[in-house]
Amino acid sequence: MKVIISVCGTLTGPRIAKVLAGKGYLKKIYFTKMQPYRIEIDPDLVHSMPYFHYLAYALKWTILPSSAWYWTSKLFDLTVSKKDLSCDVFHGFSGHSLISMQKAKNSGAKVVIDMGAPHPLVDDQIFIEEYKRFGIDYKPDYQLTRRQLEEYEKADYILVPGCFVYRSFLNSGVSEEKLIEIPYGVDLNKFRIKKIKKDDTFRIIYVAGLGVTRGVQYLLEAYHQLNLKNSELILIGRAEKCLEPTLKKYEKEVKHLGFIEHHKLVDYYTNSSIFVCPSLSEGGPLTIYEAMACGLPVISTENTGSVARDGKEGFTVPIRDVEALKEKIRCFYENPSEMKRMSRNARKRIENYSWEKYAERIIEAYKKILN
């Protein structure tokens, strides 16, 4: 079995490629950035094109702010399509594989399109609705959406990371036989319970970009209404400009730390009590995996596709539901023994979700496709 991976940006592709290379299955990975992530793969199997990474930023901040990703993806796809794409499985990532996947398919390959977010029609609608609440006229990149829809139609299979993404594709008319659901992974050596929490403060941690569709505004309001003694809410991540007035409203009640380097996050996780992900639309947030690996129970929404099960490793709540967030936060606050039980469960469950196991599950999926 020979596999080609074509990925413009995301890190899951190189992680799959590393395991494939070790087993002798990788023919080539085409990628926009490789060396900075220290993914150890035979250089002969890697075709790195970092200039696309810089092109995307240049277009975003100059002449094409709303369609920078579309044009970068299209040019990347066109470049890859000029290469030798004969293989058994072509694993392309959504939005930048339309031309190259067709060439690989013409050579006899099975095509897997990897989509890490909900179906674009579902995702776009959630974005439009939430930005409207902030008085902002959000306009999706419909050029990119049309390109993605054509990829899904022509692909043999679509790989998704979680239950919400899976449902979004089913509800958008994609055949169940075409969908493969494999949750992501985490570095269990880096993210682990490496120390005991230093104090008795009930500390809630949120790690993600502070954007409108991340639902942080609902978490802020829930925490404000609870008014818990000896508690903290820690927000880690850069904020969208339109969310800055909301953050200012609650600035005396929360700690917004801004961007924190990835390798330092483990110290914040292990000094917290619970992790909250109130997002309105996600594929499978890696921060949930990281928090669970550090022994944190998780409160997440139905739209995150979390691997934390309701009542076992945390709680699942509806989106935009301040009352539900309050109820579950208070449950942990008032029941430390329950919090400890779910903490143990979280670490135990996440041990089944290393990056190595993620790649191995994908390899098994490849084999089933070919058979």
Within this chain, do residues 86 and 116 fall inside the same structural domain, yes or no? Answer: yes
CATH number at residue 274: 3.40.50.2000
DSSP run (H or E) holding 299: strand 298-301
Dist. CA 81–CA 334, nearest whole Å: 58
| Sequence-ordered list of residues with C-beta below 8 angstroms from that of 169, at least 6 positions apart, any chain | 115, 119, 152, 158, 160, 179
Three-state DSSP state, 30: strand
Number of structural domains the chain divides into: 2
Within this chain, do residues 161 and 245 fall inside the same structural domain, yes or no? Answer: no
Residue 307, in any domain of the structure: yes
Within this chain, do residues 289 and 359 fall inside the same structural domain, yes or no? Answer: no
Q: Which structure tokens are listed for 63?
A: 């002449």
Each as own residue / partner, the long-range contacts of residues 241-248 (CB below 8 Å, 24 or more positions apart, any chain) are 242/131, 242/134, 242/136, 242/212, 243/210, 243/211, 243/212, 243/216, 243/217, 246/217, 246/220, 247/210, 247/220
Within this chain, do residues 158 and 25 fall inside the same structural domain, yes or no? Answer: yes
108: left (phi > 0), else alpha (psi -120 to 50), else beta?
A: left
- The confidence score (pLDDT) of residue 320 equals 97
- The confidence score (pLDDT) of residue 36 equals 38
Within this chain, do residues 213 and 136 fall inside the same structural domain, yes or no? Answer: no
Domain range for 276? 202-350
List of the chain residues with pLDDT < 50:
35-37
pTM above 0.75, yes or no: yes
Within this chain, do residues 104 and 167 fall inside the same structural domain, yes or no? Answer: yes
Tell me the pLDDT tens digit for each residue of 11-57.
788 889 988 999 999 999 998 865 434 567 888 898 887 766 666 65
Which segments within 12-146 are labelled E, that is strand?
26-31, 46-48, 89-93, 110-114
Within this chain, do residues 26 and 172 fall inside the same structural domain, yes or no? Answer: yes
Residue 197, in any domain of the structure: no
Tell me the pLDDT tens digit for each residue of 266-309.
999 999 999 999 999 999 899 999 999 999 999 999 999 899 99
Within this chain, do residues 108 and 20 fall inside the same structural domain, yes or no? Answer: yes
